[in-house]
Amino acid sequence: MTDELRPLVPLAQLLERLAGSYAAAAEWTREIARADTLDALRVHGVADDHATAVRQLAAECGLLGSGRHAGLVPARLSQLQVLLDVLDGLDPPPAAPPSERPLVFTTPRAAAHLVAPPVRRLDLLVQDVIAGANSELHIGGPFWNRHGCDLLREVLLPAVAERQVAVHFYAHDPSSRAQPLTDLVKDCADYGRTSLYWWTGANPGIMHAKFVVADRATGYFGSANLSSLGLQEHFEIGMELGRTQASSLVDLCTRLRQEGFFAQVTEGPGRAPDPPVFVETADGKRRFGQLRSWHTTRDGRREADVLCRLSDDAPRPARVRVDESRIRLFPGVDYANVPADGARAGDGETGSTG
């Protein structure tokens, strides 16, 4: 930038702030040139202190001649227009980095005094996210306990019953350890729209994320399980999610559901449609599956009809027939109602693991 144009920069910057852009400010200078007076800016609301500031900077940079009633200097006004056009063509300055969101914490009770305002408690963030939801909640975690579910119930039931918030739960497996969660899901389902999804991804992978997202706009994500230990006893760290983060997390959960990594409960809240099992597949791995029925072969062997993912890169679970020796039952799960020697309507073709 030449020394001749440099004194015009403060005036150009002021006009940009008043006009909203350098392009609009350049148009203002053309209006000034046509009217041959700075008073042309009055139609844009430039008056009082703003008008005084414009006039003062115009005088300092030589745009106005000397004397109280001195007129505009055309050559200087032309230079101002050139400067504004150049500034308009430059790349905009980099956006300011987003403000950092403070971390939230759980500490052992003996250290609770260390998490005091302005430091935020993790459990309060979780409850605030749920209490502020207006349309939907996505809640996930691998481990649950009864007292933790009671803490969630206090804010979940009003959300579902009073504000008709839809709640989607994501959990690792429907074993007996998940009973507190299934009870919570049943309670929520008594009042409104509630969904429960069990992880069906390949073993040994698990659904290990812990999160609460409200309305795709805000949420909690961190190390703490949504249990009493995670919310009140352990040393845990989390953070509040912004809109972009919250939305991307929900989008990923939706894609995982669509591609079969989560199995939705379809036969009543808190109860898996088919009881869970581990299946030893042909590649030698143990994979999560759902037991659909038992069948006895002509030579007297018993086989299981299961739904499971056959390989790590399988796009979705498939229905397969495997020998009973390849099935591992979950302790504490009731298999008494699994049908035997009967195909279910609409099941389609049956494959085999070989």
Q: Which residue has the higher pLDDT, 203 or 291?
A: 291
pLDDT score, position 98: 63
Average pLDDT over residues 268-290: 69
pLDDT score, position 349: 30
How many CB atoms sit inside 10 A of residue 343's CB? 13
| pLDDT at residue 350 greater than cutoff 50 | no
pLDDT score, position 96: 62
Token pair listed for 21: 């852009």
The whole-angstrom separation of Cα 291 and Cα 273 is 9
**pLDDT classification of 306: cutoffs 50, 70, 90:** confident
pLDDT score, position 161: 85
Domain 103-264: give its CATH code. Answer: 3.30.870.10
Token pair listed for 316: 């979705």
263 closest CA partner among 225, 226, 290: 290
**pLDDT classification of 93: cutoffs 50, 70, 90:** low
Quote the mean pLDDT of the chain: 84
What are the two backbone dihedrals, phi and then psi, of residue 255, each rounded to the nearest 5 degrees?
Answer: -65, -40
- Give how far Cα 304 sits from Cα of 87, 94, 222, Å: 73, 60, 39
The bridge status of strand 327-329 relative to strand 211-214 is: unpaired
225 closest CA partner among 180, 163, 175, 166: 180
pLDDT score, position 49: 79
pLDDT score, position 273: 53
The alpha carbon of 267 is separated from its chain's Cα centroid by a whole number of angstroms, namely 28
Lowest mean pLDDT among 11-15, 74-78, 106-110, 316-320: 316-320
| pLDDT at residue 348 greater than cutoff 50 | no
pLDDT score, position 312: 67
268 closest CA partner among 160, 353, 189: 189
